[in-house]
């Protein structure tokens, strides 16, 4: 067994605008079991497919995909800031495989990452530097977006690359599922926001605090049924989880981009990170989902889910499928 998978939703509101204590405890338990899964796999490298929320990638140059050969966390929402332990050689191997497979990826020697990539590292390892990583940015919010199937192609190319590394590689997808938080859109933004979307990297501490406080207020409104945000869609989230578990990628990425927004909100495009991660796992052959958790959590603006999976050729004792499902969640 050389590849394992963990996908998880993220939310900058964790710890800032939490659901009732029993729900928070339930999620903490799920993430603790995911950590045990990862510890038992003992990865030598982690490839993280993650979005950005106009903290590291802006409209001065917005690639559809980017592989980080060096990266630092911006430390938004109180998360750790500073450099990640990026395996530069592995990053270039991944980039070359993707380009060789016809998937156009950019390469960054100074990638800035936000909570979308940092949270899964803290969930699973408690640190930015516990294990070498290859960060892979997937544009999920900035129009224009390519078709979702391109994320699958990216994941398949990355899966072929990690297969040749000869190391235990954990593939992580961070984002989704259904959610429609107040992420600005260029075509609808006032001039001052347009300027930030083009050149707003490295805001002051005060500017970042103002932005983040607005998100907390919006989440409070959403949890009370107020505001212009699309509701969470557990039925769509269930479709995504079932389709990925069964390897039926086309049930998700066979739709056009408008379908994602109509069904599950503008930020539902973050499921592209899950498509890429599962495609990387599928490049190793058939797989089995080991655990699958889901709960709609409006306080976090999230259809929150976490899954783990292994290649089917794992030892028989590892094939048992354990499913963690919240009460009434599905």
Query: Which residues are designated catalytic?
Result: 115, 179
Rg, C-alpha atoms of the chain: 18
Q: Tell me, what DSSP letter sits at residue 261?
A: H
Q: Give the C-alpha distances (Å, rounded to integers) separating 199 from 62, 85, 194.
A: 12, 27, 9
- Write the burial class of residue 263 (CB in 10 Å: 0-12 exposed, 13-18 middle, 19+ buried): middle
| Strands 169-174 vs 3-8: parallel, antiparallel or unpaired | parallel
Is the preceding peptide bond at 144 cis, omega within 30 degrees of 0? Answer: yes
Q: Give the C-alpha distances (Å, rounded to integers) separating 221 from 78, 174, 214.
A: 22, 25, 11
> 3-state DSSP call for residue 238?
helix
HSE-up of residue 21 (Cα within 13 Å, Cβ side): 0
Q: Tell me, what DSSP letter sits at residue 119?
A: H
Q: Tell me, what DSSP letter sits at residue 266?
A: G
Give the strand order in the sheet containing 111-113: 81-83, 71-74, 111-113
Where are the extended beta strands (E) located within the chain? 3-8, 45-50, 65-68, 71-74, 81-83, 106-108, 111-113, 133-138, 169-174, 287-297, 302-311
Phi-psi region of 175 (alpha: psi -120 to 50; beta: other; left: phi over 0): left
């Amino acid at each position: 067994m050389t590849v394992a998978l963990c996908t998880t939703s993220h939310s900058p509101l964790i710890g800032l605008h939490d659901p009732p204590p029993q729900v928070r405890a339930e999620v903490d338990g799920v993430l603790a079991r995911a950590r045990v899964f990862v510890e038992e796999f003992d990865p030598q490298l982690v490839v993280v497919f993650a979005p950005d929320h106009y903290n590291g990638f802006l409209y001065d140059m917005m690639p559809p995909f980017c592989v980080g050969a060096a990266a630092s966390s911006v430390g938004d929402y109180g998360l750790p800031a500073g450099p990640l332990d990026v395996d530069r050689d592995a990053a270039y191997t991944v980039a070359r495989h993707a380009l060789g497979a016809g998937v156009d990826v950019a390469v960054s020697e100074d990638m800035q990452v936000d909570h979308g990539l940092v949270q899964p590292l803290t969930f699973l390892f408690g640190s930015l530097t516990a294990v070498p990583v290859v960060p892979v940015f997937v544009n999920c919010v900035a129009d224009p977006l390519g078709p979702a199937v391109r994320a699958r192609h990216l994941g398949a190319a990355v899966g072929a690359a990690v297969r040749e590394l000869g190391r235990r590689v954990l593939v992580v997808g961070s984002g989704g599922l259904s959610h429609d938080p107040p992420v600005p859109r260029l075509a609808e933004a006032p001039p001052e926001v347009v300027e930030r979307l083009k050149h707003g990297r490295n805001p002051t501490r005060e500017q970042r605090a103002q932005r983040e406080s607005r998100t907390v207020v919006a989440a409070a409104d959403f949890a009370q049924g107020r505001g212009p945000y699309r509701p969470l869609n557990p039925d769509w989230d269930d479709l995504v989880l079932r389709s990925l578990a069964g390897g039926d990628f086309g049930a998700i990425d066979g739709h056009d981009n408008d379908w994602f927004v109509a069904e599950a909100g503008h930020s539902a495009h973050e499921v592209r990170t899950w498509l890429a991660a599962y495609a990387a796992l599928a490049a190793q052959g058939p797989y089995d989902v080991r655990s699958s958790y889901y709960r709609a959590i409006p306080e976090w603006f999230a259809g929150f889910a976490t899954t783990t999976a292994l290649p089917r050729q794992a030892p028989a004792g590892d094939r048992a499928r354990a499913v963690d499902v919240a009460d009434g969640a599905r």
